[in-house]
């Protein structure tokens, strides 16, 4: 009899314990779900607040791709506001905070610590290629802890902007540069850009066909599978795929394929 009561007591205790744990788990998931819903609401609300910030303050990093270091060891920066130059400066090689081993990928910070969100930063190379950087913005960064959204936030500077009419990027690509006469008539879409696939699929020569053509025109058979798709170059009256082809362990050459005819061109050295 006493044994049965002990067993019943143990079962009752275990049952109560399971019930308490179950209630706690349900409450946790309810709170987590409410936190997620609140985070979505707050993200939209705070995004508007952050977007209303008119002054850009802080360091903005810009990456450079496919240049020889000798082509960008001196860069001219200027701020354009209301179609007028308001500030300018020169940067040299020592300003770079990153240079890759083969020197084809570099990075530095824009040399202006404060400017307006509506300003345009223009970078000019020694070859007089121009890169117009705009669409600067802040986004709402929500704070999270061990148990989810904490209900607080701060505004952070986005590392994505527009360069020569291509939005949502942060890399200055050599082949996206404009001369004065090419302004607004030329656009470079990197292969990793979210618009690349939709543009490629609409062309007579899509990405798969372009890959096959470049493979057939491999410079060195040893590196048949080392052809790198860089992106799509849109000119005023033509569209090309741009590739980087490996010649040997230390050398690459650039080639392009006409998206309408499929014709292959090997780029001349600058």
Whole-prediction pTM value? 0.78
Same structural domain for residues 31 and 142?
yes
pLDDT of res. 269: 60
Q: Which of the listed residues 182, 205, 238 is the one where a domain comes to its end?
A: 182
Same structural domain for residues 173 and 210?
no
C-alpha distances (whole Å) from 23 to each of 12, 14, 19, 250, 269 are 16, 14, 6, 65, 71
Q: Say if residues 91 and 77 touch (Cβ distance below 8 Å).
A: yes
pLDDT of res. 29: 76
Instruction: Provide mean pLDDT across the span 231-255.
Output: 90
Same structural domain for residues 120 and 232?
no
Q: Is the torsion defined by CA of 204, 208, 170, 77 positive or negative?
A: negative
Cα 107 → chain centroid: 14
Q: Which of the listed residues 150, 182, 214 is the one where a domain comes to its end?
A: 182
Of 262, 266, 265, 267, nearest to 210 by C-alpha is: 262
Burial (CB < 10 A; 0-12, 13-18, 19+), residue 134, is middle
Same structural domain for residues 124 and 56?
yes
Same structural domain for residues 45 and 140?
yes
CA angle 220, 224, 230 (to 5 degrees): 100
Q: Count of domains in the chain?
A: 2
Residue 78 pLDDT greater than 90, yes or no: yes
Instruction: Provide mean pLDDT across the span 81-99.
Output: 93
pLDDT of res. 163: 93
Same structural domain for residues 175 and 232?
no
Structural domain boundaries, residue 196: 186-266
Same structural domain for residues 75 and 122?
yes
Higher pLDDT, residue 23 or 51: 51
pLDDT of res. 26: 77
Q: Which of the listed residues 153, 182, 211 is the one where a domain comes to its end?
A: 182
Same structural domain for residues 196 and 104?
no
Same structural domain for residues 105 and 45?
yes
**Cβ atoms within 10 Å, residue 234:** 18
Same structural domain for residues 175 and 86?
yes
Same structural domain for residues 176 and 243?
no
């Amino acid at each position: 009899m006493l044994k049965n009561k002990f067993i019943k007591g143990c079962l009752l205790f275990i049952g109560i314990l399971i019930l308490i744990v179950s209630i706690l788990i349900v409450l946790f998931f309810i709170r987590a779900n409410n936190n997620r819903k609140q985070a979505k609401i707050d993200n939209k609300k705070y995004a508007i607040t952050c977007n209303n910030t008119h002054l850009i303050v802080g360091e903005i990093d810009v990456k450079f791709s496919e240049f020889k270091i000798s082509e960008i060891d001196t860069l001219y920066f200027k701020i354009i506001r209301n179609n007028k130059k308001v500030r300018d400066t020169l940067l040299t090689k020592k300003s770079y905070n990153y240079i890759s081993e083969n020197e084809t990928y570099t990075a530095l910070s824009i040399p202006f610590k404060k400017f307006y969100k509506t300003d345009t930063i223009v970078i000019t190379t020694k070859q007089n290629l121009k890169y117009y950087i705009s669409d600067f913005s802040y986004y709402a960064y929500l704070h999270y802890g061990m148990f989810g959204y904490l209900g607080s936030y701060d505004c952070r500077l986005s590392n994505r902007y527009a360069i020569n009419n291509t939005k949502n990027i942060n890399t200055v690509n050599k082949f996206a540069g404009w001369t004065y006469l090419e302004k607004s008539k030329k656009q470079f879409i990197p292969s990793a850009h979210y618009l690349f696939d939709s543009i490629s699929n609409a062309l007579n020569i899509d990405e798969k066909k372009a890959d096959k053509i470049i493979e057939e025109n491999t410079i060195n058979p040893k590196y048949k599978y080392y052809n790198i798709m860089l992106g799509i170059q849109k000119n005023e009256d033509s569209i090309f795929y741009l590739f980087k082809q490996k010649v040997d362990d230390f050398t690459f050459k650039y080639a392009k394929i006409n998206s309408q005819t499929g014709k292959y061109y090997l780029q001349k050295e600058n």
